[in-house]
Chain A
Amino acid sequence: MISVEQYLALSAVMFVIGVVGVLVRRNAIIVFMSIELMLNSVNLTLVAFSAYLGDVTGQMLVFFVMTVAAAEAAVGLAIIIALYRIRQTVNIDDINILKW
């Protein structure tokens, strides 16, 4: 049997991979995908806790995370596309975005 620590370690590593992606990548869509990885690792953590605590609440929380992830995906990609539209028509050279 796999212990809870192994699941947690797996999701922790996945979370950190996502964090690294956000910190080092400069492409908006890849940053966004890294954030999705972070949210997925949170979900995995919750499900693992839920299984080992014998409590369905953890699975319940995952639904809310998924809902919000979907909402964020819609809004985020809408923003990226709207920004692209301005860039395309205005000026491609002054991309000074994402230097934080």
Chain B
Amino acid sequence: MENNYLADLWNSSPIVCVVLTGLVLLLVESVRRGSGRLSYAVSLVGLASAGVLIVAVGDVAQPAFNNMIVQGPYAQFFTVIFLVTGILTILLSRGYLDRQGIHRSEYYLLVVFAISGMMLLAYAMDLIVVFLGIELMSICLYILAGFMRTRGTSMEAALKYFLLGAFATGFLLYGIALIYGSTGTTNLEQIAKSFAEHSASPMFLVGVSFLLVAFAFKVAAVPFHMWAPDVYEGAPTMVTAFMSTGVKAAGFAAFVAVFMRSFQYAGSPVNDVLAAIAAASMIIGNVTALAQVNLKRMLAYSSVAHAGYILVGLAAGNADGFMGILFYLVAYVVVNVGAFGILSLVEDSNGQKLSYDDYAGFSAQRPFLAALMSIFMFSLAGIPPFAGFFGKYYVFLAAVKADMIWLAVLGVLTSLVSVYYYLRLVILMYFREGSGDVAVRPTWAAMLSIGFAAYLVIQFGIFPSIVVDAALKVF
């Protein structure tokens, strides 16, 4: 078998670029010890050049490395999400890390390697690459969750995330093993082909359900969401931001790729299970979020609920559903980076000032930030004309088209519930007197990235066609 490895390298050049950035960061750390500022600059340049490469490579679908990965519009779409998330996270992180006294260059290195793992998930055409991509991403995040080594809650979050993550890996691998056993391959394309020849064996369905457990864990869907609130609360706020956006998007990149490319032939039992998980996530996520006092926990449960909304699109299993998922993810990721960014600005150096009450009267002290936070909350609640509204609209529409009207109705009802806890924050910021001791010292980079996130939320809300066109090209 002849291989043109140069062509393969070119097709995978965005991933290669990100990995190389990570290696350069390692060198920077060893040459100029503790130089956080240099690492900050290098990681931004590296991610930006990966962005240039992803455009240069083009969107013609091309397999590479013996069909292990495939470059194409799907990979491109998700890579752009990961790179934008990564850049915004890094811009916001520097000031946050300084305030918390943990500004070390390893942070950037781990974020960059985590992004390379996420990109592999979007490119993956083989279950082995899915597995290794998830591991590369997760191992970086286990460490990032415990980045505040002196704070007990951060280390507890790291341990909990690690143990449950490794547990989910066990399920992922057992699923892969059973699928390998029943089809003789791990390549997604060939798995799909083996269905065309003979129908799914019960063994294969067991394998698929094990994969489902693993993915549900990674995207924090009920009943595998229990880790999310504690880990989100304990991890450093910007790491939580990265987790709830990048990791969730990457989890869905793999989830959708695997189910779209090969398992859709497995038929309706899988879709029914997905619908049940989606429904449970929407109900439990939204109802539990109502009771939260801490904003990080509230956003954690809200992220469980949003995983449910995205799964509605996957359960629908039609082209509208997949398009809806992509739009929803873009809207969700942008909003969450912004919202967590503001939380990270208000948080003090002891990890306090994260509850609802700390935001009372926030608009009087920081009118601009309060306005941006309100935009993010409106978008999360799905109120037009912000991006979140169209995300929900598209996935619910897909559910209706797939004759899952009950799921769409449930989605709308739970969205109404969510309005309460999102708008509670807005009301507190605007209509309550605060104690006035919130000290916010945002850096320019942080303000710029939060502003940019808000701009995108409005832009995609008013002109959703920008994202829709890009998403339609994918399928």
Contact = CB atoms under 8 A, between A and B. Distances in A.
User: CB–CB under 8 A between A and B in the complex?
Assistant: yes
Interface of A: 8, 15, 18-19, 22, 28, 31-32, 35, 38-39, 41-42, 45-46, 49, 53, 55, 57-58, 61, 64-65, 68, 71-72, 75-76, 79-80, 82-83, 86-87, 90-91, 94, 97-98, 100
A39 B151 CA distance: 31
A10 to B, nearest CB: 14
Contact of B180 (A61, A72, A97, A98): A61
Interface in B112-160: 128, 131-132, 135, 139, 142-143, 146, 149-152, 155-156, 158-160
Given A55-B184, A83-B156, A71 B135 contact: yes
Contacts, number: 111
Contact of B163 (A53, A58, A76, A94): A76
Contact residues of B: prevailing secondary structure: helix
Given A39-B173, A49-B180, A61-B180, A75 B160 contact: no
| 7 A-B pairs with least C-beta separation | A38-B170, A49-B181, A42-B173, A45-B177, A83-B155, A97-B156, A35-B166
B178 interface: yes
Contacts of A79: 142-143, 146, 155, 158-159, 162
Interface of B: 128, 131-132, 135, 139, 142-143, 146, 149-152, 155-156, 158-160, 162-164, 166-167, 169-170, 173-174, 176-178, 180-181, 184-186, 226-227, 230
Nearest to B158: A79
The SS class assigned to the A binding surface is helix
Contacts of A98: 159-160, 163
B152 A90 contact: yes
B132 A82 contact: no
Contact of A97 (B132, B159, B173): B159
A32 B180 contact: no
Contacts of A22: 163, 167
Nearest to A96: B156
Contact of B139 (A28, A72, A86, A87): A72
Contacts of B177: 42, 45-46, 49, 58, 61
Contacts of B185: 57
B156 to A, nearest CB: 5
